[in-house]
Amino acid sequence: MEQMVNRQYAASMTKTLTVLNSFPHTLADQALFQIGLLYAQPENPNQDYEKSLESFNKILNEFPESRLRNQSQMWILFIRDVIDKKQKIEILDNEIVSLKRTVAQQKTESALLQKKIETRKNAELIESLEKTVDEQKEEINQLLDQIEKLKRVDLGIEEKKQKILLQDEHIEEKKDGKDSGS
């Protein structure tokens, strides 16, 4: 967890995979959740939304009673939305490239006949498309901000969970100490 907060994604992934392999029956859902978060991080150089979705889906499929089920479902929805938005941006970017080529051709042709009129129309078309792309990019940035906020919430939850686990262990140790003393 600490490595993830410090953006040491490779180290965090290694540690999480070790936990997953060492405790496949007790901590697997938590490790898979952590793996999903790591792969969803925009700053992670190995970011992979498909692998992130795979980890969250494993929690749903293999650990139906996991307390991380609802959070996993939420992350799946957010990641799918980000993927959809990125695909839309890519399509719009390709359309812009295609339209820019068309505009260039039209500028050459219109120079012979109505250079000023056609140039103005094409410029408005490009401006409109660029505005649409900017709006889509803004939506993606908002989604990425939401992911960051959710990550912080999840990290807070994880920290609280760790404190509770430590308290439970401490209580068990005290209980074991009393049992052996009587």
Tokens 């060492």 belong to residue: 22
What are 112's two structure tokens? 């012979």
Q: Rounded distance, CA 7 to CA 29, Å?
A: 22
Beta carbons within 8 Å of 82's beta carbon, 6+ residues apart: 49, 140, 143, 144, 147
Q: What pLDDT score does 180 carry?
A: 66
Q: What pLDDT score does 151 carry?
A: 82
Which of the two residues, 120 and 53, has the higher pLDDT score?
Answer: 53
What are 30's two structure tokens? 């938590």
pLDDT tens profile 114-128: 777 777 787 888 888
The helix/strand/coil state of 136 is helix
Q: Phi, psi (5° rounding) for residue 44?
A: -70, 120
pLDDT tens profile 17-46: 988 888 888 899 999 999 999 999 989 999
Q: How many other CB atoms sit within 10 Å of the CB of residue 63?
A: 17
| Residue 5 banded pLDDT, cuts 50, 70, 90 | low
**Inter-residue contact 49 to 43 (CB < 8 Å):** no
Residue at 138: amino acid letter: E
| Residue 153 banded pLDDT, cuts 50, 70, 90 | confident
Q: Rounded distance, CA 49 to CA 162, Å?
A: 27
Identify the DSSP state of 24: T
Q: Rounded distance, CA 82 to CA 161, Å?
A: 28
- Burial state string for 18-36 with b = 16 or more CB within 10 A and e = fewer than 16: ebbeeeeeeebbbbbbbbb
Query: pTM of the prediction?
Result: 0.51
